C-alpha cells in the first residue's frame, strides 16, 4: 500500500480562465487550491490536481498538472478512471490512465484512526454536556 502524494499548488488565473472555457456551470465550481490526487510518485515528476467538473454525464473533468519546479502549466479534459475496486463502494476518483494506483488502492485512514476520531467527537459531546452547553440525552 502506498500513501497519497498530496503536493499542493494554486491554479494561476490564466489557467483558471482557460479551465472555465471547457464549460463548468460557474466560476464558483472552480477548484483553484490544488492537491495532487496521485499515490506517492517519486519517479513521476508531474503532480495532478482536479480543476473543475464539466456539466453533463460522463463528460470527464478538467485537470491540471505541475511539478516541484513548475507551477501548473496546462489544463486538460480527462475522462474518469473506469476502474472498479474489489467492493461495491470502491471507486477511483482519478482520471483515465492516471499513473500509479487507483484511489481505492491508496492507504486511507485505518479503522483505528476513524475510531479515534469518533471517540474525540463523543468526548467533545460529553464535555459540552458537562459544561451545560448541550441538553442531556433523553
Q: In angstroms, give the least distance from the CB of 84 to Zn ion.
A: 9
Residue number with CB closer to Zn ion (19 or 106):
106
3-state secondary structure the chain: CECECCCEEECCHHHHHHHHCCCCCCHHHCCCEEECCCECCCCCCCEEEEEEECCCCCCCEEEEEECCCCCCCEEEEECECCCECCCCCCECCCECCCCCCCHHHECCCCHHHHHHHHHHHHHHHHHHHHCCCCCCCC
In the bound complex, what is the minimum distance in angstroms from residue 92's beta carbon to Zn ion?
3
Q: Which is nearer to Zn ion, 3 or 27 (CB)?
A: 3
**Which positions lie near Zn ion, rule CB under 5 A?**
5, 7, 36, 38, 47, 81, 83, 92, 94, 102
Closer CB to Zn ion, 24 or 49, in the complex: 49
Comparison of 6 and 115: residue with beta carbon closer to Zn ion: 6
Closest distance of CB 5 from Zn ion, Å = 3
Task: Supply the minimum distance, in Å, between the C-beta of residue 52 and Zn ion.
Answer: 19
Amino acid at each position: 500500500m502506498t500513501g497519497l502524494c498530496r503536493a499542493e499548488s494554486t491554479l494561476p488565473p490564466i489557467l483558471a480562465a482557460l479551465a472555465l472555457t471547457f464549460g463548468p456551470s460557474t466560476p464558483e465550481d472552480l477548484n483553484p487550491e490544488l492537491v495532487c490526487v496521485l499515490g506517492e510518485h517519486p519517479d513521476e515528476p508531474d503532480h495532478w490536481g482536479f480543476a473543475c467538473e464539466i456539466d453533463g454525464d460522463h463528460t470527464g473533468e478538467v485537470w491540471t498538472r505541475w511539478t516541484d519546479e513548475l507551477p501548473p502549466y496546462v489544463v486538460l479534459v480527462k475522462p474518469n478512471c473506469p476502474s472498479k475496486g474489489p467492493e461495491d463502494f470502491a471507486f477511483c476518483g482519478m482520471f483515465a490512465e492516471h499513473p500509479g494506483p487507483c484511489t481505492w488502492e491508496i492507504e486511507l485512514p485505518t479503522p483505528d484512526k476513524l475510531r479515534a476520531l469518533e471517540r474525540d467527537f463523543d468526548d467533545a459531546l460529553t464535555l459540552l454536556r458537562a459544561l451545560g452547553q448541550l441538553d442531556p440525552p433523553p
